[in-house]
């Protein structure tokens, strides 16, 4: 099946926001085995939306619109779609009640009359009620083309796709499509592709596809079967095969990030972490504390952007700083050990490096990073060359990613 996405919103054409809805939905459609050939963005303009719909219905089996379902005069998606596909709008009393309740309980005020528009939906449609916002979505089929309408705010759009549109779309395909993502750090996309060449070319269902992400990559394994159980059964040996081929660079399956994996491993083992950060400047702490419940496993850390803080707070010997410089293995080791001590954590990670744009006063090249990890029995240290020639942000992100991988490897007893 072929899908086309149409985003409606003048704010997109003014560049106030990026069309992240298209990314979210495209990724999920791809996992469902539905091909996307076009994304289109139009403003809050009924003529141009109608034109985009006419074009899309000629070339797609599924049209998914995002945005324009709200209560204001410029929210015209439903009206324009109904006009184009020859449908009427009707009031859904139950949806109206839900919107009224949302206003009273979540927003603490009475619903204003303009919100009634949000309960007007096409005749004979499948209603997608919206428990995370006020605008419901819906779907109908006309002349072999399925039209799905989802709200624009990315959080709502993601929720509504995952919990409403997905079920609708799964019914359109004969059978169920299930996919899992293997997250990989330490091998690039092309290396992964080369390693998986044999199963990738051998297989048609299930399938394997690698994707590049910032500082890492992922492999998506997708199977189509009559039931979810059968699809899972097809995927199990394939996932095992991929893990076997790629080895311990696979850091997780269906997880959001490497810090989530690290956090889970720490929790399972009842261990805590702290971080002493020079060039990453708080990025590791920030990523650890992005996760809800971080306080159970992360005790804190020190951002030591000067030698005084390295010496005064972390207790790094000034002689080491003078002899080897701040970006050096002895200093990285002393930072991790000092941090472990003052934060009272089981493990402590430290990062010191040159993020750029300039080299340090000793001429250490941009991208040079030392990462140390201290625990009760030992402190280890790795020197890396991160993100050469790719700018400050890339060096810092790559350093943090490497630090998380080092912690993961330590917790699992894997080779560094």
Minimum CB distance to a second copy, residue 114 (Å) = 15
Distance CA 413, CA 49 (A): 57
Q: Which is nearer to a second copy, 163 or 289 (CB)?
A: 289
Angle between helices 392-412 and 258-269 (to 10 degrees): 30
HSE (side-chain half, CA atoms, 13 Å) at 52: 24
Q: Which is nearer to a second copy, 148 or 288 (CB)?
A: 288
- Residue among 290, 287, 320 nearest 403 (CA): 287
Report 163-202 residues binding a second copy (CB under 8 A): none
Q: Does the footprint of a second copy cover residue 298 (CB under 8 A)?
A: yes
From candidates 225, 302, 374, 395, binder to a second copy by CB under 8 A = 302
Minimum CB distance to a second copy, residue 47 (Å) = 10
Report 8-67 residues binding a second copy (CB under 8 A): 12-20, 22-30, 36-43, 45, 48, 52, 55
Report 123-152 residues binding a second copy (CB under 8 A): none
* Cβ neighbours around 357 below 10 Å, total: 9
* Site track for a second copy across 91-120, x = CB under 8 A: ---------------xx-------------
Q: Which stretch binds a second copy (CB under 8 A): 61-69, 80-88, 281-289, 328-336?
A: 281-289
Q: Which is nearer to a second copy, 103 or 324 (CB)?
A: 103
Q: Does the footprint of a second copy cover residue 1 (CB under 8 A)?
A: no
> Distance from CA of residue 394 to its chain's centroid?
18
Distance CA 241, CA 136 (A): 42
Report 380-399 residues binding a second copy (CB under 8 A): 389, 391-393, 396
Distance CA 19, CA 39 (A): 10
Distance CA 113, CA 73 (A): 12
- Joined tokens for residue 171: 């019914």
Distance CA 287, CA 191 (A): 27
Minimum CB distance to a second copy, residue 153 (Å) = 11
Minimum CB distance to a second copy, residue 40 (Å) = 6
From candidates 103, 159, 211, 324, binder to a second copy by CB under 8 A = 211
From candidates 54, 290, 322, 323, binder to a second copy by CB under 8 A = 290
Minimum CB distance to a second copy, residue 263 (Å) = 12
Q: CB under 8 Å to 340, separation ≥6 — which residues?
A: 274, 346, 347, 348, 374, 375
Q: Does the footprint of a second copy cover residue 327 (CB under 8 A)?
A: no
* Site track for a second copy across 228-257, x = CB under 8 A: ------------------------------
* Cβ neighbours around 57 below 10 Å, total: 18
Minimum CB distance to a second copy, residue 244 (Å) = 26
From candidates 277, 334, 368, 373, binder to a second copy by CB under 8 A = 277
Q: Which is nearer to a second copy, 330 or 353 (CB)?
A: 353
From candidates 82, 145, 284, 395, binder to a second copy by CB under 8 A = 284
Query: Residue 4: which H helix or E strand, with range?
Result: strand 2-8
The answer to whether 367 and 354 have CB atoms below 8 angstroms apart is: yes
Distance CA 288, CA 264 (A): 11
Q: Which stretch binds a second copy (CB under 8 A): 120-128, 163-171, 258-266, 297-305?
A: 297-305
The answer to whether 219 and 242 have CB atoms below 8 angstroms apart is: yes
At 150, phi and psi to the nearest 5? -125, 150
């Amino acid at each position: 099946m072929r899908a086309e996405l149409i985003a409606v919103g003048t704010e997109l054409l003014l560049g106030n926001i990026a069309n992240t809805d298209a990314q979210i939905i495209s990724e999920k459609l791809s996992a469902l085995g539905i091909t996307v050939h076009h994304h289109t963005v139009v403003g809050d303009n009924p003529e141009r939306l109608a034109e985009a719909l006419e074009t899309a219905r000629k070339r797609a089996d599924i049209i998914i619109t995002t945005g324009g379902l709200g209560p204001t005069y410029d929210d015209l998606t439903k009206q324009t779609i109904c006009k184009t596909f020859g449908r009427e709008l009707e009031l859904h009393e139950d949806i109206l009640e839900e919107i009224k309740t949302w206003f009273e309980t979540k927003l603490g005020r009475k619903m204003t009359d303009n919100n009634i528009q949000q309960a007007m939906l096409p005749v004979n449609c499948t209603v997608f009620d919206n428990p995370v916002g006020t605008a419901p979505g819906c779907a109908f089929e006309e002349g072999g083309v399925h039209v799905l309408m989802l709200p624009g705010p990315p959080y709502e759009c993601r929720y509504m796709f995952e919990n409403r549109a997905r079920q609708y779309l799964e019914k359109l395909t004969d059978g169920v499509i299930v996919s899992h993502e293997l997250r990989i750090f330490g091998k690039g996309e092309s290396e992964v592709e080369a390693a998986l060449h044999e199963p990738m070319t051998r297989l048609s269902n299930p399938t394997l596809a690698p994707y590049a992400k910032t500082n890492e990559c992922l492999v998506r394994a997708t199977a189509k079967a009559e039931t979810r159980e059968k699809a899972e059964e097809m995927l199990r040996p394939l996932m095992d095969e991929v893990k076997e081929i790629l080895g311990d660079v696979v850091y997780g399956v269906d997880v959001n990030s490497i810090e989530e994996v690290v956090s889970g491993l720490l929790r399972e083992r009842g261990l805590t972490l702290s971080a002493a950060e020079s060039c990453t400047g708080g990025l590791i702490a920030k990523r650890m504390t992005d996760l809800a419940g971080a306080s159970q496993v992360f005790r804190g850390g020190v951002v030591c952007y000067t030698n005084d803080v390295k010496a005064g707070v972390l207790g790094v010997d000034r002689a080491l700083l003078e002899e080897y410089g701040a970006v050096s293995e002895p200093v990285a080791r002393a930072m991790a050990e000092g941090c472990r001590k003052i934060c009272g954590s089981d493990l402590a990670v430290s990062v010191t490096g040159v993020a750029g744009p300039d080299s340090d006063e000793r001429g250490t090249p941009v991208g040079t990073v030392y990462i140390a990890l201290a625990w009760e029995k030992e402190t280890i240290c790795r020197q890396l060359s991160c993100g050469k020639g790719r700018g400050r942000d890339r060096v810092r992100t790559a350093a943090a990613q490497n630090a998380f991988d080092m912690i993961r490897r330590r917790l699992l007893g894997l080779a560094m």
